Amino acid sequence: MTSRTRTGAGVIGALAGVVALAGVAVAPAAQAATGCAVTYTTNDWPGGFTAAITIQNLGSAINGWSLGFAFPASGQKVDTGWSATFSQSGQNVTATNVDYNAAIATGASVSIGFNGSWSGSNPKPASFTLNGVTCTGSVTTSSPSPTPTPSPSPSATPSPSPSATPTRSPSPSPSPSPTGGKPTVAADGTGTYRTVQAAIDAVASGNSSRKVITIKPGTYREIVTIPANKPYITLQGLGSSPGDVVIVNNHYAGGNGGTFNSATAFVNGHDSALTNLTISNDYVEDGSTVNQQAVALNLNADRAVLSNVRLLGDQDTFLINDSARAYVKSSYIEGTVDFIFGGGTAVLDDCDIYEKRSSGAPITAARTDAAKTYGFLVYRSRITGATGNTTQLGRPWGPDAQVLYRESSLSSTIKTSQPWTDMSGNSWKNARFFEYRNTGAGATVNSNRPQMSDSQAANYTPQKYLAGSDGWNPIG
């Protein structure tokens, strides 16, 4: 594999926590509901669950609402929510409307939901209040079930589907377009805007509160940029899976000013979030010319959260720049060469990572600064590929690159004898590359596979990777 230099202006990105972020404007004239019904159902798996909540207004029309409930068990927790802003204090949870579903007419309903975690047990809440009024409707929950195994999302057209299908873990399943409202973005004209960029452009500069941009299922062929002066933006797909909303383009390094400028999505505003959608660069890298790198997501700002997202590309799919901290949860990332790369800090938690090139290549190319303790953590994730014994865990774009694969399943696609390799004169042996308690056919141990000790691993948790100087903890 020949080395290469990435050029171009380092613009872009950053996403942020969806849960427990205050600032969604509630309509000032929120009335008390004179009657309400709530249906609460869950899909459980060991240690986690997805909750779907339907709120029906049985009283006078309201404009602006807050739903309250208490978890019966102390180990229950909201992790990531959609169609509402969730906050939790102890066992008490509050869900507040977002702008598109503030109004609930008499007899109308609104659907919201969240991904949660639990320890010990996961009993249903006993009661709910809507604007302070106790709801009388049904409260139900599904029977406990084994860990579901949803089918992985295929590559966006025209990218070919992987020949080997990764196994997906449970991930958020947001409800369809909310009742009584319309999406922010819809390509067919049924939303407020036809393009994602138009909706972002409409957000005021210096925005200080959460702005949720909902996107109707469809394909949006455009270049999307969230500027640095527009923080707290959430892009939320309204489909039943992340493959229903696809933001896609086909720029590449050779024709667009270098690798950094080739992305489909540039996310610069801090505390932004992406959920339940796909970002794809469908430029076909055939290897016949140089400078064919084509980035899907270029992430440049701090405190970014990606949940239930697909990132699709070939070489250099996902760029995490130096200033970014990113928490990527229950998502799918595919590519060919160095498709998770950069100098930022990222935790990939419960993700599926797929090497789609039959000849294999390195997955990561970190450029961690020597002064930074943490680079990339692949945590409790699944690594698969198109062929066996061909894929490498990574190579050092910078001499002090830091990457840890922790408690993850490494399939037979991993090149077991030599899973790390050199890059651009940087030796993998001098980089900070480690594995810890991985499993699977590709998780053998030899002298070319540095293993982290238990005592070291205590300081390399997801929380420690992301804490920084401000104590950021999107995990809870």
* pLDDT bucket at 7, cuts 50 / 70 / 90: very low
Between CA 393 and CA 340 the distance in angstroms is: 10
222-267 pLDDT, tens digit per residue, is: 999 999 999 999 999 999 999 999 999 999 998 788 999 999 999 9
Judged by average pLDDT, the poorest of 103-107, 179-183, 365-369 is 179-183
Distance, CA of 363 to chain centre:
18
109-168 pLDDT, tens digit per residue, is: 887 878 788 888 999 999 999 998 898 764 443 333 333 333 333 333 333 333 333 333
Contact present, 6 and 322 (Cβ < 8 Å): no
389-443 pLDDT, tens digit per residue, is: 999 999 999 999 999 999 999 999 999 999 999 999 999 999 999 999 999 999 9
**Both structure tokens of 93:** 């949870």
Q: What is the pLDDT of residue 204?
A: 95
Any bridge partners for residue 214, and if so which? 236
Judge if the upstream peptide bond of residue 158 is cis by omega within 30 degrees of 0.
yes
Side-chain half-sphere exposure of 256, counting CA atoms within 13 A: 18
Q: Of 93, 91, 24, which Cα lies nearest the Cα of 53?
A: 93
- Torsion angles phi and psi, residue 462, rounded to 5: -55, -40
* pLDDT bucket at 362, cuts 50 / 70 / 90: very high
Between CA 298 and CA 389 the distance in angstroms is: 30
Q: Which helix (H) or strand (E) holds 396?
A: strand 392-396
Please state, in angstroms and as integers, the Cα–Cα distance from residue 195 to each residue in 74, 172, 192, 216, 266, following that order: 43, 24, 9, 10, 15
Q: Of 396, 265, 289, 263, which Cα lies nearest the Cα of 342?
A: 396
Give the chain's mean pLDDT: 84
199: which DSSP letter?
Answer: H
Q: Where in the sequence numbering do the catalytic residues fall?
A: 316, 338
Contact present, 253 and 291 (Cβ < 8 Å): yes
